[in-house]
Amino acid sequence: MALPGESTLASHGPKRPARAESRRPPASATYPVRTEEDLLTVRHAVRAATVEVGFGLVDQTRVVTAASELARNAYVHGGGGTVTLDYPREPSGRRGLRLTVKDEGPGIADLDAALTDGFTTGSGLGHGLGGARRLMDEFTVRTGPGEGTVVVVTRWAVR
């Protein structure tokens, strides 16, 4: 019992963290892609973001793989750039993770060819851009010779 002028706070056991669906989404974050180390930083940030959104292990792996491919493309072919993470939410409450990968490189001269499996301008297997498109729910590319490239991909969490 509290004395006059004192107050008490009742506790009913440990507090549970707020459910991911009801919390405010994290703020957008942008990461540079200028070095090999930056590629690793992006992978770690994207992995943490997939956990925050509530993706299962398979979807975490899909998103991290797509992010890795896109960031590497910006680094290798675009001379570096940025990766921005955003947390869109649909009116129904479904959460997602959106990656915007930008570079200021030479652009993609033939986008249709670049999206074809097996197409490569380097020593890779040629699955990067097309593979990222298959791994994500939404995929857009803005590019042109001398204009750089912006790839925006989104994956939505299953409710």
The rounded distance, in Å, linking the Cα atoms of 87 and 49 is 9
pLDDT in tens, 122-135: 544 445 788 899 99
Q: Are 134 and 102 in contact (CB under 8 A)?
A: no
Residue 25 pLDDT > 80: no
> Which token pair is 98?
């959106």
- Domain ranges, ordered by start, for the chain: 27-154
Nearest CA to 135 among 46, 40, 58? 58
Residue with tokens 């001398």: 146
Query: CATH: 1.10.10.10, 2.140.10.10, 3.40.1390.20, 3.30.565.10. Which one for 27-154?
Result: 3.30.565.10
β-sheet bridge partners, residue 156? 96
Q: For the whole model, what pTM was predicted?
A: 0.79
pLDDT in tens, 81-138: 999 999 999 999 999 999 999 999 999 887 877 777 655 555 444 457 888 999 999 9
Helix (H) or strand (E) segment spanning residue 132:
helix 128-135
What amino acid occupies position 95?
R
β-sheet bridge partners, residue 101? 83, 151
The per-residue pLDDT of the chain, averaged, comes to 84
Residue 1 pLDDT > 60: no
> Which token pair is 55?
């993706």
Quick check: helix, strand or coil at residue 91? coil
